[in-house]
């Protein structure tokens, strides 16, 4: 594959370049931190950030001191790779790697789970079950646990070794030390039973002969299975992050009809050049950005502006790649192509926002980084003390048994359950309430949000135009609607569909229409049951010298409410006004009020005009309005709020919202919206109900509280058991930690964690 410079995030500064490097080989958040630390220490690197979720490193460096190749070699030195390819190929390669990673984790987990279950049953029986108490039982456990350790768990040992080489400790280190100590000790205890029997005889005198010397194969295998379950859930959530970019790239038009040498030809859209003349027909997506030369149409630009109503376009107006031509045909001159189009800018903004979002340090990793060196230190001290004070004939065996006992009691069995069980129950309750939470990071942050920014169109409103008002003049309201709908039934204009739909909702029969004419940029003209109808904007009325009589004030009020007005005339006389607007969702006001009651500031943001935005905001009780904001500015507005030390949540549904959703601390997508928005978000409201935002916040608080409680229970037994395992009580009471007590302590901590997580099943949100 030909190496090329990444076209994403490259920005020439004064001797400084900022690039985005797609990384391969990362298996956990600790990998991302390791790469980030190594890059940050590299000469010439100004700033380095690595995002595990998007598998990308964003690096700003001095071109005089290091180049892209040097950065790649730095990353490769610590065991990771860099994809060198065109951007679309990068997305494909990363997607393939994510799928392979998920498949491998799934396979390893099921192997570990199936093989660990009988080992766990044997260990928990403590010899009380007759048919499990036979001479070869330890060899059976060895045979079952070995594939788990050396196949399913090998990634943890490899990561721990890599961390040790760079003088760092994390969750992988604790897993490797705990499970490795348990496995190695158990192997030696199985093959050299007599050596260990001397040290354990007094503690194990009540045990059956076959289990007189304790083994801890279940500690090694079960912990690996549980940790793999957590990694599997994490990989599933991680796999969704790249899908947002893929959804946006799918909006790119593949082919374009251009005029070259006075001939109309079809070429790949990425071969369009600035200055090319392009033809677009009704229903087609526009391939690149440009300026209309001839023709007119109504264009759906909701992916850019969020405005549900199509925009009328004519000669000299700008059009944008990826938007949809709804009605007429036109020709335009290409002005921006390739990575310079508005759609590609949205792609860039989404990726930049995802890449700049610093990964949240896992609490378990933080604790492990402190806990692991302490445990290893205590174990070493334990060995030295027991070797020094024990009788000569038992000093080595006693020192070794107590050394290993400290490491085994520190095994993170409950720690492996602490987060995944709470996340599983919490996300399950979210789904029951119509809230799909994609990651633990979203759960961790959501309850700490200070501001919720709501997109207007499709989020606060229904996202489609509908008739809101009909004001007739000397004619029955339904009769006027029937005439207007009959004429509009022949129109391709999107507002026409709203009028026809309203007539059908009122069970009005449509009448025969003759001599229908679409008047460019003004409205329509038609003959219906001997009526001559004119329907359109004020310009159309002025052209035919039709006054509004006493309806000027009503028209002004409707217009100030953010509604689109159409004026009707029958046989040259003013007949009335019909208003169309995007209506507010029924639950929006209650949802806004509930958020405000939680102490959260609610802001509305939209690409629509200020008058419409303020009218919608007033209706639902929102005071702060950000109007006429394009996609790039939406993400910038979110960033500006974050720079004020505010935790910001963004709720949206459109392609235009994707950069802001990715930039926000928590992005919340409306499930009825576009795929790109849903994939860019951390949370999806499956039912499109804004009250789901309140549910997500409350569920976040309950789940994180449970995770912290679980971590407490996961460590309290270790903290109490480690001193006993080290022999602190032996001088006073002659007590050493028996394997029965060790197993019971680990079991009790795991049961406590699971039981505590299951309490989340009682979570409910009052509506």
d(CA 302, CA 310): 8
3-class SS letters over 274-302: CCCEEEECCCCECCCEEEEEEECEEEECH
d(CA 444, CA 412): 21
| Element at 576 (helix H, strand E) | strand 573-584
Task: Report whether 49 contacts 65 (CB < 8 A).
Answer: no
120-125: which pairs have CB atoms within 8 A and are 24 or more residues apart?
A: 120/218, 120/221, 120/222, 122/218, 123/215, 123/216, 123/217, 123/218, 123/743, 124/218, 124/743, 124/747
Task: Report whether 159 contacts 29 (CB < 8 A).
Answer: no
User: Looking at the DSSP assignment, which residues form a beta bridge with residue 330?
Assistant: 280, 295
Angle between helix 171-191 and helix 154-165 axes, rounded to 10 deg: 120
722-725: which pairs have CB atoms within 8 A and are 24 or more residues apart?
A: 722/375, 722/378, 722/406, 722/409, 722/410, 724/409, 725/382, 725/402, 725/405, 725/406, 725/408, 725/409
Cα–Cα separations (whole angstroms), residue 21 to 54, 92, 323, 646? 11, 15, 30, 29
**Cα–Cα–Cα angle for 376, 378, 382, rounded to 5 degrees:** 115
Q: Residue 173 burial (CB < 10 Å; 0-12/13-18/19+)? A: buried
User: Looking at the DSSP assignment, which residues form a beta bridge with residue 526?
Assistant: 533
Q: What are phi and psi of 741, to 5 degrees?
A: -65, -40
d(CA 553, CA 568): 16
User: Looking at the DSSP assignment, which residues form a beta bridge with residue 356?
Assistant: none
- Say whether 469 is catalytic: no
Instruction: Please tell me whether residue 524 adopts helix, strand or coil conformation.
Output: strand
What is the bridge-based pairing of β-strands 318-319 and 289-295? antiparallel
> Radius of gyration (Cα) for the chain, nearest Å?
34
Query: For 673-686, b where at least 16 C-beta lie within 10 A, e where not — what string?
Result: bbbbbbbbbbbbbb
3-class SS letters over 707-764: HHHHHHHHHHHHHHHHHHHHCCCHHHHCCCCCHHHHHHHHHHHHHHHHHHHHHHHHCC
**Cβ within 8 Å of residue 440, ≥6 positions away:** 234, 237, 419, 423
User: Looking at the DSSP assignment, which residues form a beta bridge with residue 685?
Assistant: 435, 670
Task: Report whether 737 contacts 721 (CB < 8 A).
Answer: yes
d(CA 155, CA 183): 16
**Cβ within 8 Å of residue 752, ≥6 positions away:** 414, 713
Instruction: Please tell me whether residue 603 adopts helix, strand or coil conformation.
Output: strand
**Cβ within 8 Å of residue 302, ≥6 positions away:** 308, 457, 458, 654, 655, 656
d(CA 114, CA 409): 24
Instruction: Please tell me whether residue 17 adopts helix, strand or coil conformation.
Output: strand
User: Catalytic pick from 170, 276, 455, 682?
Assistant: 455
Q: Which of 254, 260, 264 is nearest to 288 (CA)?
A: 254
Task: Report whether 1 contacts 85 (CB < 8 A).
Answer: yes
Q: Residue 762 burial (CB < 10 Å; 0-12/13-18/19+)? A: exposed
Instruction: Please tell me whether residue 60 adopts helix, strand or coil conformation.
Output: strand
The residues annotated with a catalytic role in the active site are 455
């Amino acid at each position: 594959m030909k190496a090329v410079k990444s076209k994403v995030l490259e920005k020439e500064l004064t001797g400084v370049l900022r690039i985005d490097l797609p990384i391969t080989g990362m298996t956990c958040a600790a990998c991302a931190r390791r790469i980030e630390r190594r890059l940050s220490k590299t000469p010439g690197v100004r700033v380095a950030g690595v995002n595990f979720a998007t598998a990308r490193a964003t690096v700003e460096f001095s071109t005089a001191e290091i180049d892209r190749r040097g950065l790649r070699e730095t990353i490769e030195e610590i065991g990771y790779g860099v994809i060198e390819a065109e951007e679309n190929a990068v997305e494909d390669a990363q997607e393939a790697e994510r799928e392979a990673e998920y498949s491998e984790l799934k396979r390893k987990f099921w192997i570990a789970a199936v093989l660990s279950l009988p080992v766990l049953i044997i260990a928990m029986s403590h010899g009380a079950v007759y048919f499990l108490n036979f001479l070869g039982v330890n060899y059976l456990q060895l045979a079952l646990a070995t594939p788990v350790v050396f196949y399913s768990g090998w990634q943890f040992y490899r990561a721990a070794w890599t961390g040790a080489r760079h003088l760092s400790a994390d969750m992988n280190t604790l897993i490797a030390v705990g499970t490795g100590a348990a496995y190695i000790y158990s192997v030696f205890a199985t093959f050299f039973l007599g050596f260990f029997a001397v040290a354990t005889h007094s503690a194990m005198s009540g045990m059956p002969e076959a289990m007189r010397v304790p083994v801890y194969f279940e500690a090694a295998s079960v912990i690996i299975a549980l940790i793999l379950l957590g990694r599997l859930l994490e990989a599933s959530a991680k796999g969704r992050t790249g899908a947002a970019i893929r959804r946006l790239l799918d909006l790119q038009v593949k082919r374009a009809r251009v005029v070259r040498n006075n001939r109309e030809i079809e070429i790949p859209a990425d071969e369009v050049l600035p200055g090319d003349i392009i033809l677009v027909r009704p229903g087609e997506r526009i391939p690149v950005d440009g300026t209309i030369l001839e023709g007119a149409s109504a264009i759906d630009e909701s992916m850019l502006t969020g405005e549900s109503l199509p925009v009328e376009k004519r000669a000299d107006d700008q059009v944008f790649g990826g938007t949809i031509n709804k009605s007429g045909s036109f020709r335009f001159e290409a002005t921006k192509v390739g990575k310079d189009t508005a759609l590609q800018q949205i792609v860039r903004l989404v990726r930049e926002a995802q890449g700049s979002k610093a990964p949240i340090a896992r609490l378990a990793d933080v604790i492990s980084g402190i806990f692991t060196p302490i445990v290893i230190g205590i174990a070493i001290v334990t060995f030295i003390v027991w070797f020094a004070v024990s009788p000569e004939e038992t000093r080595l065996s006693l020192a070794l048994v107590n050394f290993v006992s400290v490491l085994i009691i520190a095994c993170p069995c409950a720690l492996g359950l602490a987060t995944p069980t709470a996340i599983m129950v919490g996300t399950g309750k979210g789904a029951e309430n119509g809230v799909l939470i994609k990651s633990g990071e979203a759960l961790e942050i959501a309850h700490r949000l200070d501001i919720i920014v709501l997109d207007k169109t499709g989020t606060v409103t229904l996202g489609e135009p509908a008739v809101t008002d009909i004001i007739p003049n000397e004619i029955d309201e339904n009769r006027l609607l029937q005439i207007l709908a009959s004429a509009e039934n022949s129109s391709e204009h999107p507002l026409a569909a709203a009028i026809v739909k309203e007539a059908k909702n009122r069970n009005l029969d449509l009448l025969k229409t003759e001599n229908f004419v679409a008047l460019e940029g003004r409205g329509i003209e038609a003959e219906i049951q001997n009526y001559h109808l004119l329907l359109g904007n004020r310009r159309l009325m002025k052209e035919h010298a039709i006054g509004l009589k006493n309806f000027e004030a009503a028209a002004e009020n409707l217009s100030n409410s953010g509604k689109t007005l159409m004026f009707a005339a029958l046989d040259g006389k003013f007949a009335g006004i019909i208003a169309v607007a995007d209506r507010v969702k029924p639950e929006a006001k209650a949802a806004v009020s509930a958020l405000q009651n939680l102490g959260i500031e609610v802001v509305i943001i939209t690409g629509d005009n200020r008058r419409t935005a303020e009218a919608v905001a007033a209706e639902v009780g929102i005071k702060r309005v950000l109007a006429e904001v394009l996609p790039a500015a939406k993400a910038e507005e979110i960033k500006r709020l974050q720079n004020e030390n505010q935790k910001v949540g963004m709720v949206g549904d459109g392609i235009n919202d994707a950069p802001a959703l990715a930039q926000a601390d928590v992005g919340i997508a409306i499930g009825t919206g576009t795929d790109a928005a849903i994939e860019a978000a951390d949370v999806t409201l499956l039912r499109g109900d804004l009250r789901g935002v309140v549910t997500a916040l409350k569920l976040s608080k309950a789940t994180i509280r449970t995770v912290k409680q679980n971590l407490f229970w996961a460590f309290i037994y270790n903290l109490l058991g480690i001193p006993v395992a080290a022999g602190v009580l032996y001088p006073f009471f002659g007590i050493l930690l028996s394997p029965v007590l060790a197993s019971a302590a680990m079991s009790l901590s795991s049961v406590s964690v699971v039981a505590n997580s299951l309490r989340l099943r009682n979570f409910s949100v009052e509506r």
